[in-house]
Amino acid sequence: MTVTGEAEVLLEARGIVKNFPGQRALDGVDFDVRKGEVHALIGENGAGKSTLIKIFAGAYRQDQGEIVIGGERKDISSSGDSQSLGLAFIHQDLNIVPHLSVAENIFLGKYPRNRFGLVRFSKMVEMARSIPQAVTIHADLRAPAGSLPIIEQWKTVINRALAQRSRIIFMDEPTTSLTHTEVDELFHAIADLKRTGKAIVYVSHRMEEVFRIADRVTVIKDAKKIGTSLMRDLDHGKLYNMMLGRELKDVFPSRGRRTDVVCLETNNLSRAGAVKNVSFRLHGGEILGIAGLVGSGRTELARLLFGADKKDRGDIIINGKKMNFKSPADAIRCGIALVPEERHTQGLVLHMDVKENITLASLDRIRRWSRIPVLSRQKEGSLGRQFASVTNIKARDLRQPVNSLSGGNQQKVVLSKWLCSNARILILDEPTRGIDVGAKFSLYSTITELAGRGVAIILISSDLTEVAGMSHRVLVLHEGAIAAEIPNDGADPQVTLRLCLEACKL
């Protein structure tokens, strides 16, 4: 059964705007859900998908715009409101209480009671069996839910939504923790739900799945809606272009040539459960992109190279010398720097000001006298100013605490810290996540400029357009090992992007 334009509209959101400090998360987004459809919601990390979902769930309140459910304007100000309007949300972590039985999980908090207020377990199991249009759970309903395979836990949560008479079920990246056969089973369950007139909003970034089950797709990018389209009107190429929004060539600054000097080389670098036999060479002036799904070992590889984790096997060779890093301090001495994935928890000391954060890794450079460890406020100020202007930080003044800066400027502070320490090998882990578009392009040009000056750069990103647009070469990681190496010297980054997408099995 395919949904057409005539199906009843269950939910409609119009012109949703949501601002966070220093960032617009949603900018006038329209979205509607119809009876009996699977509506895919796609976009890269930080595009605004989850913010939109959280507004429907009552976790956030929109700043502008309205939500219409069943033809009436509704106000969703709590998860209770959302539930009573027939919306259900299933997140990756499933919200299962592992030691409670399947039946108890289905009726979580809404147990049938007898006249003394005590829970009637036998009644509950009976009720669980008689949920209208329930998906079948292949397990004993009295067994603890935590002992079930993940797919049965999924069905438990779906049945919970049905027991609450939900009409729209939101699923957030449902296949992340499922095996191939389990994914098939989940898709069968979704097809059953569709037949009974439920609507499913399916959040994902895996194209292949979207093509398999979605009836319509809405693409969100940089807080804006790019468009909504019927899946049968799309092919892969058209959907990619929707996601990109523009031609790749025009977006990214042009790269310089890499040098012949090998700065960093790894041989069979391994760490149990994270990184497997990774060997590659990094040249001066080169931007090496690293792509792969979340959990493919990208961040772990970065931490190994930076000495933040210890390697089990293999070599790290810096400028021809084998190194054995015991801590980041050792790696920094070799000119390696890491701009970590989580800048709030790993990149910045939030209560300290801009100049203090910039000079944090180079305190020995701002001594008043070279032999005596006493800081010079004057040198600190001039060095801070110098590197704040290199990365184009926009702050009132350098004594502003970094927690009052926008995400983009905070990231520039982290980058400045490493430029100040004269890093020659720069590892960037998701450098543009959660950063607004303007700051993104400013970062891109800084990165390209640095490479032009001979700095070797490793660029880790989930945003494949970014990897394809910026890098000389792309390594694709899968389960900790290099799955593919894609050269990117051709004229069209679109080709590289397609290769990356295939290699990532998206």
Interacting residues toward another protein by CB under 8 A? 19, 21-22, 306, 308, 327-329, 331-333, 338, 340, 345-352, 356, 360-361, 363-364, 367, 373-375, 404, 406, 417, 421
Query: For residues 1 and 349, which CB has a smaller minimum distance to another protein in the complex?
Result: 349
Query: For residues 337 and 464, which CB has a smaller minimum distance to another protein in the complex?
Result: 337
The Cβ of residue 483 has, within 10 Å, a number of other Cβ atoms equal to 16
Query: For residues 102 and 427, which CB has a smaller minimum distance to another protein in the complex?
Result: 427
Cα separation, 453 vs 384, whole angstroms: 20
Query: For residues 286 and 353, which CB has a smaller minimum distance to another protein in the complex?
Result: 353
Tokens 């398999």 appear where?
212
Torsion angle of C-alpha atoms 45, 48, 50, 53, degrees rounded to 10: -160
* Residue 372 host element (H or E): none
Q: Which residues neighbour 244 within 8 Å (Cβ) at sequence distance 6 or greater?
A: 465
**Shortest distance in whole angstroms from residue 349 CB to another protein:** 4
Query: For residues 43 and 340, which CB has a smaller minimum distance to another protein in the complex?
Result: 340
**Shortest distance in whole angstroms from residue 207 CB to another protein:** 34
**Shortest distance in whole angstroms from residue 387 CB to another protein:** 14
**Shortest distance in whole angstroms from residue 369 CB to another protein:** 12
Per the structure block, which two tokens stand in for 453? 């000056």
* Residue 443 host element (H or E): helix 437-452
Query: For residues 226 and 393, which CB has a smaller minimum distance to another protein in the complex?
Result: 393
**Shortest distance in whole angstroms from residue 346 CB to another protein:** 5
- Residue among 391, 418, 419 nearest 405 (CA): 391
**Shortest distance in whole angstroms from residue 373 CB to another protein:** 5
**Shortest distance in whole angstroms from residue 483 CB to another protein:** 28
**What is the C-alpha end-to-end distance of the chain, expressed in Å?**
26
Query: For residues 135 and 305, which CB has a smaller minimum distance to another protein in the complex?
Result: 305
**Shortest distance in whole angstroms from residue 474 CB to another protein:** 25
Q: What angle do CA 39, 204, 209 make, to 5 degrees?
A: 80
Cα separation, 337 vs 415, whole angstroms: 9
Mapped onto helix, strand or coil, the DSSP state of residue 482 is strand
Query: For residues 434 and 452, which CB has a smaller minimum distance to another protein in the complex?
Result: 434
Residue 127's DSSP bridge partners are none
**Shortest distance in whole angstroms from residue 449 CB to another protein:** 23
> Reading across the β-sheet that carries 313-318, which strands appear in turn?
275-283, 262-271, 313-318, 321-323
467 burial (CB, 10 Å; 0-12 / 13-18 / 19+) is buried
Query: For residues 115 and 396, which CB has a smaller minimum distance to another protein in the complex?
Result: 396
Cα separation, 237 vs 234, whole angstroms: 8
Mapped onto helix, strand or coil, the DSSP state of residue 306 is coil
